[in-house]
Structure formats: C-alpha cells, structure tokens
Copies of this chain bind each other. A is one copy, B any other.
C-alpha cells in the first residue's frame, strides 16, 4: 500500500523524521509492502506540496526550494490514504488536524498543544477521528507510554495512579542538586548543555510537564481544564517578568532555599524530584521528596520514568524508563505512529 504524508514543522524533530523515513523507505517497501510518499512539508511561512509526491531534491533542499503553499489547501487535496504529521510546537495546528481527520486521514502529533489545551479542543479532535489520532511522543518521546496506557484501558484495566518524571531538563537539574551543586549552577549548566528552552523558565514553570499530565489524564477518560491542574513551578512569580539575562543573574538568590530543601530531604533518605501524578481524582505537578531507593528516586539525569499502578498491576506497578527527549528518539516514535496509522488505514 501507499501512505501519503504531509508534515507540519521541519525543526529538530521534523528534520530527523524526514531523515529516518528517507533512509528506511526502501526497506519498508520491500519488507512490509508499505510505500511512504511525502506530499507536503510545511514550516510557519513556507511549504512544498505535490499530490504526486515531492522529489528527494525538493525534500532535501527544504525550505530553500519551497514556495508559499497553504497547508489547509494542501490537506484538502491530499490523496488517500494519508497522514498529517504535526511536528510543530504550535497551538494553531488544531483546525488543520481536524480537517485531516474529517477527510478520513490520520493525524500523528509530536505536538502537545492541540491535545493539552481546552477540553473542548481535545473533544473536537476526538470527534473528528479518535481512532485515527496518534500521539505517542507527546509524553516521554519515544518511550511506549501512551500505547501502553491505551492497551491497559481498552482491555478493561482501571488506572489507579500514574506517577512519573516527564522533564529531562528538570531531571538533570535535580540530579545536579542531589550531587551538591547550587540551584543556579544547575540551571546554568542545563542551559549551557542546550537542555533548556532559550528561556529556562519555560521548563522551570512546569507547564510543559503539565501538558503531558493533561494528556495522560484525558487518555484515562478524565475531562479537565489546564487551570485545574495543581502546578508548582520552581521559581517565584516575582521573577516571571524579568528578561532572560536578568532572570539568570538573579537566580543565585534561590540557591539557599533549594539547598535547604535538598538537605532536608537527604536527612530522611529522600531526594528531590520534579514529579507529576494522575489519579482518578487529582492531577498534580510538583517538586517533592521521594525515597532515594525508589524507582523515581533512583532516576538519574535527564531520563524520564512513568510508574503505572492499575487494578491488574496493583502490588507491583508497570514501569517504563529511559530518555524522554531528543530529536532522534522522538522522530522514531512519530515514525512508528505513521506506520501504525498506515496499517489501520489500509483498505
């Protein structure tokens, strides 16, 4: 079969995805009889589109050779069966995804925003094509968290509690603090390694983790608005309006507080971890002290982890752990979703 792909977003993840698909395309065709045809590539202001498929040249030289195609028009013209991939980090793709689903296409998202905003937006996506909507990489990148949760739920298991660490950046920072480094130095080092967003407060606010937790909660059938999540950021509101440089120059003022919290934790055999948890009644994102020898407490550096406790996995939970960010592992997760979508669209 042929699957036609239109990709929104050609940044780090999008670029890695294009590379992986091009390098595996021949293998997929010969081994699984699945032919991937790239019909469209779009960035914010440019796009390349052809119903017959872009040439390798057009793909590799993107966006230099691209025109100013409109993605909405392109989606309306996509040959079936097709998948629209959202590798942007924009909330504005929602109507594009909806129209792709309404036309009978599949949508594969690495982008959390359309799923983690208003409940009504999430509902609209589900109504447009629940069974053709894939978003494995929105939580834990390539780690098989969403698919595992889906399989548990669909077979009738009851989710009692999911707890985890879903920010590689904050994982790194609190591993450094555990090793005795001051908060300000840990944040600076994370920034220097490229682990943080350009403005580190985008990570330190916990909003990205909150989005993941909303997606997990909604998968279990919960209906909730973002402002009902209990969210503890790890810098004071008074520092929210500063420029990035001002913020970075002032964070040593926070060192003492975090050192005290870390020492307190250590005195009780605990360590600080930035955790998120979902139960049937609550959704909480916060910094907390957990036992050092627990699964979450022994997590190291930027790894992610999820601990899933259910009716069937009650005494001993199901645990998935590993790198939860990075262009290559995220792209691979998106790629696997595209293949799954293709197999379901096969007719």
The reply on A347 being an interface residue by CB < 8 A is yes
Interface residues of A, dominant DSSP: mixed
A129-165 CB contacts (< 8 Å) to partner B: 131, 142-144, 147-148, 151-152, 154-157
Query: Can you name 11 A-B pairs with beta carbons within 8 Å?
Result: A32-B131, A131-B343, A144-B148, A144-B320, A156-B332, A157-B332, A295-B321, A303-B316, A319-B321, A343-B343, A344-B344
CB atoms of A329 and B313 under 8 A apart: yes
Identical subunits present: 2
The reply on A239 being an interface residue by CB < 8 A is no
**Contact size range, A:** 35 or more
With A and B bound together, what is the CA distance between A54 and B28 in angstroms?
A: 40
CB atoms of A152 and B318 under 8 A apart: no
Binary contact readout A325-347 vs B (1 if CB under 8 angstroms, 0 otherwise): 00011001101100100011011
The reply on A55 being an interface residue by CB < 8 A is no
The reply on A301 being an interface residue by CB < 8 A is yes
Residues of the B chain whose Cβ atoms lie less than 8 Å from the Cβ of A316 = 301-303, 322-323
The chain A residues found within 8 Å of chain B, CB to CB, are 20, 23-24, 27-28, 32, 131, 142-144, 147-148, 151-152, 154-157, 293, 295, 298, 301-303, 312-313, 315-323, 328-329, 332-333, 335-336, 339, 343-344, 346-347
CB atoms of B312 and A332 under 8 A apart: yes
CB atoms of A332 and B144 under 8 A apart: no
CB atoms of A313 and B319 under 8 A apart: no
With A and B bound together, what is the CA distance between A320 and B268 in angstroms?
A: 28
With A and B bound together, what is the CA distance between A144 and B148 in angstroms?
A: 7
CB atoms of B24 and A336 under 8 A apart: no
